[in-house]
Amino acid sequence: MTAYPAIAPSSRSYQAGDWPVKTFNAQDGAEVRILYGDKRFGHTLDLSYRNIPDTQAEEFMLHYFSVQGTYQTFALPTSSGVAKGWEGNLSFYNAGYLTQWRYAGPPVLTSVRPGVSTVEIRFSAVLLAS
Amino acid sequence: MSTFYSGQAGQLYINGTKAAKVSQWSFNAAQSTLDTTTLEQTDRTAIPGIRSTSGTCSLYYYEQDSGANSCSELIDYLIKPATDHAAAPGVAPLSQKVTLRLQSGASRYIQGDVWITSASMTMAVGAVLGAEVTFEFDGAPSLDTL
């Protein structure tokens, strides 16, 4: 697998996901929630790399190809640069116990001017079969 | 020899021919930037984006003995009558590019192909008829010795 590019993102957006909870409402309005698992899932990580050289933009495509698009799951090591600028615990950007990232969709590459592009990426966390 | 440049030395050339009775020209060159600031940085960084050059000129509507009229010639690059107004009033030839040279001295000028983007004329009592013309360069200037 090609290493994920060690480039600091221009912007990063993290959505925390949730536990597998099902909610039932009685006719009088009372709510009952059933927890079906003990692991959080479904978190997403949106990354934007704005106005980077085309050669760097190409690195993101190579990583996407190496994990067969949305098929394979992987961890994002702290060396990947994904967490740059985050001053909290770096493990925060690991997907979590028995959880890994995969591409939620193909990276979007937008050419800005000759030699310069913008790349938008969305990762989705998936629970591994235990 | 040290020298200043003033309006007395200013000239405007339209397709290589010196325009008559030009009262002013100006141009503006601008450089956009592309933001490259990343999450670990505290100060904005940028790389050069797209440049653009545009300008304005004012000419008196002056007809020479030969019949030449620089003002009329210039606005005709923008104003195009319909080819067949009765049948298709909304169809006219496209505007054409024109080569302008904005000259501040004998060997000081900026030249390029431009699109005329607007032309305005006002006829008024007590005033000489003239035109205010704005233009935008198509690409980079072809010559620049300013």
Mutation pick from A13, A49, A51 vs chain B, by most beta carbons of B within 10 Å, is: A51
What φ, ψ does residue A61 adopt, rounded to 5°?
-65, -40
- The Cα of B39 is separated from the nearest Cα of chain A by a number of Å equal to 5
pLDDT at position A92 = 65
How far is the C-alpha of A17 from the C-alpha of A40, rounded, in Å?
6
Provide the residue count of chain B: 146
Do the Cβ atoms of B36 and A50 come within 8 Å? Answer: yes
**Is B38 in CB contact (< 8 Å) with chain A?**
yes
pLDDT in tens, A38-59: 988 889 999 999 999 999 999 9
Mean of the per-residue pLDDT values of chain A: 91
pTM, rounded to two decimals? 0.79
d(CA B95, CA B114): 11
Question: Residue A11: closest CA among chain B residues belongs to which residue?
Answer: B39
State yes or no: ipTM above 0.90.
no
In this prediction, residues B37-60 reach a mean pLDDT of: 95
Name the token pair of B44.
Answer: 């904005």
How many residue pairs bridge chain A and chain B with CB atoms within 8 Å of each other? 37
The larger pLDDT score, comparing residue A94 to residue B63, is at B63
> In a 10 Å sphere around its CB, with 0-12 CB exposed, 13-18 middle and 19+ buried, how is residue A57 labelled?
buried
Considering only the beta carbons, identify the residue of B36, B41, B49 that sits closest to A113.
B49
Residue B50 pLDDT greater than 90, yes or no: yes
Nearest chain A residue (CA) to B48: A113
pLDDT at B18 over 90: yes
Looking at every residue in chain B, the average pLDDT score rounds to 95
Give the 3-state secondary structure percentages of chain A, helix then strand then coil, rounded to 5: 15, 40, 45
Question: A61-96, pLDDT tens digit by residue?
Answer: 999 999 999 999 998 877 788 888 888 877 667 777
Single out the residue of B53, B66, B55 nearest to residue B20, CA to CA: B66
| Arithmetic mean of pLDDT, A112-126 | 95
Q: What are phi and psi of B52, to 5 degrees?
A: -145, 150
Residue B114 has a pLDDT of 97
Percent above pLDDT 70 for chain A: 97
